[in-house]
């Protein structure tokens, strides 16, 4: 797969303006990225810019803390689908992981997946806040829940994706689900290493810089 097709070109900043989202979408069209990832209130703007293109739209729910109720997340997900998103990136309840309430987490993920049907669901587990045992447990839960992807990070915690995160996830997931690396990915070198380790999607706000670096590298 070509490098550009790994990217969810992302702008989830609180202060992102209409012009910022327009720029994001134009860049996604120029580089033919897989998708853009925007906050829910920007879905319809992105849809207007990307209509009749192959670039998909992703949005986030329960973002960035994951501590909303399941019912709130389901509402967010359904509302996002109604507004035109193709993919949902949800944040799990990190506190429930720490409580080892894995039944709650699996039911929440399954409920959201059921609510969005055939639309793709990525589950953000915020690896920065987990130990390796918890990453292993969560990878198994995401597989069992019926979600499509496990995702490392929101980009709003203490760190983003690491090679070790992806190594652990890939060891469990194999090819059962996709793996999205996100958070702090700003260089071609790291991007290639994450893909080699097993990432099948890359979430980045620096996608254009990485692609320019890739062009210079040829």
Per-residue pLDDT of the chain (218 residues; tens, 9 = 90+): 999 999 999 999 999 999 999 999 999 999 999 999 999 999 999 999 999 999 999 999 999 999 999 999 999 999 999 999 999 999 999 999 999 999 999 999 999 999 999 999 999 999 999 999 999 999 999 999 999 999 999 999 999 999 999 999 999 999 999 999 999 999 999 999 999 999 999 999 999 999 999 998 76
Active site residue 89: yes
Active site residue 20: no
Helix (H) or strand (E) holding 25: helix 18-31
DSSP three-state, residue 75: helix
Structure tokens at 120: 């793709």
Catalytic residue among 73, 113, 180, 206: 180
Q: How far apart are the first and last CA of the chain?
A: 16
Catalytic residue among 89, 113, 122, 206: 89
Catalytic residue among 73, 151, 165, 206: 151
Phi, psi of 59 (to 5 degrees): -140, 175
Rounded (10°) angle between helices 207-217 and 18-31: 30
Output the CA torsion 117→174→202→100 (10° steps): 70
Active site residue 47: no
Q: Are 169 and 156 in contact, with CB atoms under 8 Å apart?
A: no
Phi, psi of 14 (to 5 degrees): -65, -30
DSSP-assigned states of every residue in 89-144? EEEP-HHHHHTT-HHHHHHHHHHHHHHHTTSEEEEE--GGGS-HHHHHHHHHHHHH
Q: What is the pLDDT of residue 27?
A: 98
Q: Of the candidates 102, 120, 173, 179, which has an alpha carbon nearest to the alpha carbon of residue 143?
A: 173
Q: What is the pLDDT of residue 217?
A: 74
In angstroms, the CA 125 to CA 108 distance is 13
């Amino acid at each position: 797969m070509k490098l550009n097709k790994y990217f969810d070109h992302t702008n989830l900043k609180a202060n992102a303006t209409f012009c910022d989202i327009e720029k994001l979408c134009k860049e996604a069209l120029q580089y033919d990225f897989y998708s853009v990832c925007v906050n829910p209130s920007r879905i319809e703007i992105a849809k207007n810019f990307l209509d009749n293109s192959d670039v998909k739209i992703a949005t986030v729910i329960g973002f960035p803390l994951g501590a909303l109720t399941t019912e709130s997340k389901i509402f967010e997900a359904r509302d996002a689908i109604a507004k035109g998103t193709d993919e949902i990136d949800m944040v799990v309840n990190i506190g429930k992981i720490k409580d080892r309430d894995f039944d709650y987490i699996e039911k929440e993920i399954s409920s959201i997946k059921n609510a969005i049907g055939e639309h793709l669901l990525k589950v953000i587990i915020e690896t920065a806040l987990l130990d390796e045992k918890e990453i292993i447990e969560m990878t198994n839960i995401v597989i069992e829940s019926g979600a499509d992807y496990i995702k490392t990070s929101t980009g709003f915690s203490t760190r983003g994706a690491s090679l070790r995160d992806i190594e652990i996830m890939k060891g469990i997931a194999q090819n059962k689900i996709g793996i999205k690396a996100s958070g702090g990915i700003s260089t071609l070198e790291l991007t290639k290493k994450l893909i080699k380790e097993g990432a099948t999607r890359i979430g980045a706000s620096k996608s254009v810089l990485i692609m320019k670096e890739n062009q210079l590298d040829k």
